[in-house]
Amino acid sequence: MVSKKNLKPGDIILSEEPIVVGPCTGCKVQCLGCYKPLETATPYIKCKGCGWPLCSPKCRGLGKKHGHPQIECAVLKTTKSARLLDYNELEKMRSHYNAIVPLRCLLLKESDPQAYADLMKMETHNEIRRNIPELWRGNQESIVNRIIFDWGLKEYTQEEVHSICGILEVNSFEIGQQGVNIRGLYPTAFLMSHDCVPNTNHVDEEGSFRLTVRASTRIEHGETITLSYAYTLQCTLKRREHLLENKFFECQCKRCSDPTEMGTYSGALICPKCKTGYVLSTNPLDPEADWKCTNLERCPGYRITSKSMQLLIDRIGHEVDGIGCNDVVAMEAFLHKYRNVLHPTHYLCLGVKLSLSQLYGRISGYLIDKLSEDILLRKQQICEEIMKVFNVIEPGFTRLRGVTLYEMHAPLMILLTRQFENHCSKSELRSKLKKVVKCLEEASVILGYEPETSSEGMMGMAAKDALVRIKDWEKILGKF
Ligand SMILES: [Zn+2]
Ligand SMILES: [Zn+2]
Ligand SMILES: [Zn+2]
Ligand SMILES: [Zn+2]
């Protein structure tokens, strides 16, 4: 997909309703109508028709196209699996959810032949996928056999169901608000190519699942419109592995081709031998290539194999996964422990720093008004450090930048208030105030595109409110 005109950040590229929506593969048990997560502990009911769990008899998704439609209920009614369902066996039900979206796609063949035809034009990568035995066999058991033999849809061929699986794996979007685990297929959004530094951002509307794609940076006429199918906060090794295993291609983008990842060093180690150079891949497009120190004068021979590198990263990654999500002390201890091993903006540090940037000022024991000057400065420093990387890997109007700009304004503002009380120079105050205003203005514009009910959307509104209050401040300062 290529731009037919010059676009500026925030411009809408496309906005469309989904062809199909439903639970992600590997999701937890959820309401088939509205996708609310259901647990044994929370009350739920069984659908009167098919017996599958629902949030309530009045669920807003009952009978709806992108919820639990009649046609689906009729099919599931004939299956044995739901009838045997026990209130204590929700967990056993889990794998059955993998087949729901494929079923919804197949049902379109009769209910909406045009949508089905559009869908079947999408890439399946069957040839590649067929040669990954684990994947193909997994789909055969948990989706193909279930739909054809258990649910009794004998009118579809096994090949057809496998193609649907491929279409979903390659083209679907993970959507929904936080805590919800759903995916959707869209009629044109799938045409966007992948880039590890995308130039668009997308949001989906709650309830309707309408997907809106906006330019996040300037996009010139003729330029390719891109999004990222990988997690931008990971290093090249991890992103390329994910793309190869899940999207079946080897990324060759600018970021992947550059050993420094465009100067962000998000995969770099500090050289254990000379302590001044960085250890980078000798060929980032080859996952088997050795890694070596950049300091050619002092340690020309220092090399490690890609295998050792991966083992090291996985081991440290496990350590990060083991840190509690509010455990500020453990996060700081982690950063301290690896300060001579990982580059300060290595992706594992970056993830921890992103968490810290949001925890300081927000959780009990670290509320913003109570923070010491040292911790306020720490929050500010972390925000500035990660922003430098986000400006490169997720430039422009992106959620990550919007949120971090908002986080950055808080310590700046509190420090400013305290300095005001301590009578520092007015010109100094004015220049600092300008910095706060800049953060808030950009944050409110970027987050203004987020749904109002999402945490980012609410942050955007808080940024607007803070700007109004600051105008009063500026008036006070203006009098001096
Ligand atoms: Zn529901
Ligand atoms: Zn039903
Ligand atoms: Zn790439
Ligand atoms: Zn070295």
Per-residue burial over 37-74, b if 16 or more Cβ lie within 10 Å, else e, is ebeeeeebeebebbbbbbbeeebebbeeebbbbeebbe
pLDDT the model gives residue 270: 96
**Is the model's pLDDT at 48 over the cut of 80?**
yes
Å from CA of 256 to ligand 3 middle: 4
For the CA of 61, the nearest ligand: 1
Q: Which comes out higher in pLDDT, residue 394 or 300?
A: 394
**Is the model's pLDDT at 189 over the cut of 80?**
yes
Å from CA of 355 to ligand 3 middle: 24
Å from CA of 59 to ligand 1 middle: 4
Å from CA of 252 to ligand 3 middle: 5
Å from CA of 33 to ligand 1 middle: 5
Could you tell me the CA-to-CA distances from 47 to 53, 62, 88, 105, 468 in Å, in that order? 6, 9, 16, 21, 49
Classify residue 473 by burial, with Cβ atoms within 10 Å: 0-12, 13-18, 19+: middle
Tell the residue number behind the tokens 């759903």, with chain if given.
182
CA 144, CA 115: separation in Å to the nearest integer? 21
For the CA of 235, the nearest ligand: 3
Q: What is the pLDDT of residues 68-86, one digit of tens each?
A: 999 999 999 877 665 666 6
Å from CA of 90 to ligand 1 middle: 16
**Structural domain includes residue 244:** no
Residue 394's nearest CA partner among 237, 236, 200, 202 is 200
Q: What is the pLDDT of residues 80-137, one digit of tens each?
A: 665 666 656 777 788 899 999 999 999 999 999 999 999 999 999 999 999 999 999 9
For the CA of 31, the nearest ligand: 1
Residue 292's nearest CA partner among 340, 259, 339 is 259
Å from CA of 151 to ligand 2 middle: 13
Those residues whose C-beta lies under 8 Å from the C-beta of residue 333, and which sit 6 or more positions away, are none
- Residue 202 amino acid letter: H
**Structural domain includes residue 145:** yes
Adjacency order of strands within the sheet including 303-304? 269-270, 278-281, 291-293, 303-304
**Structural domain includes residue 369:** yes
CA 399, CA 120: separation in Å to the nearest integer? 33
Å from CA of 260 to ligand 3 middle: 13
**Is the model's pLDDT at 323 over the cut of 60?**
yes
Final residue before a domain boundary, out of 141, 165, 189: 165
Q: What is the pLDDT of residues 295-305, one digit of tens each?
A: 988 888 789 99
Structure-block tokens of residue 207 = 């309830």
Å from CA of 351 to ligand 3 middle: 19
**Structural domain includes residue 330:** no
Handedness of CA 189, 195, 200, 205 (dihedral sign): positive
**Structural domain includes residue 416:** yes
For the CA of 285, the nearest ligand: 3
CA 216, CA 194: separation in Å to the nearest integer? 15
Mean of pLDDT values over 364-373: 92
Mean of pLDDT values over 264-290: 96
What is the chain's mean pLDDT, rounded?
92
**Structural domain includes residue 7:** no
Nearest 5°: CA angle at 134, between 132 and 135? Answer: 70
**Structural domain includes residue 50:** yes
Å from CA of 57 to ligand 3 middle: 46
For the CA of 234, the nearest ligand: 3
Torsion angle of the four alpha carbons 117, 121, 123, 129, in this order, in degrees rounded to the nearest 10: 50
Final residue before a domain boundary, out of 105, 140, 165: 165
Å from CA of 292 to ligand 4 middle: 8
**Is the model's pLDDT at 478 over the cut of 80?**
no
Mean of pLDDT values over 193-214: 94
For the CA of 291, the nearest ligand: 4
For the CA of 302, the nearest ligand: 4
- Residue 211 and residue 173 in contact, taking contact as beta carbons nearer than 8 Å: yes
**Is the model's pLDDT at 225 over the cut of 80?**
yes
Å from CA of 23 to ligand 2 middle: 15
Show the domain range for 399. 360-478
**Structural domain includes residue 217:** no
Domain count, the chain: 2
Mean of pLDDT values over 228-251: 95
pLDDT class of 188 with cuts at 50, 70, 90: very high
pLDDT the model gives residue 23: 96
Question: Is residue 154 helix, strand or coil?
Answer: coil
For the CA of 252, the nearest ligand: 3
Å from CA of 177 to ligand 3 middle: 26
Final residue before a domain boundary, out of 165, 189, 209: 165
pLDDT the model gives residue 80: 66
pLDDT class of 343 with cuts at 50, 70, 90: very high
Classify residue 228 by burial, with Cβ atoms within 10 Å: 0-12, 13-18, 19+: buried
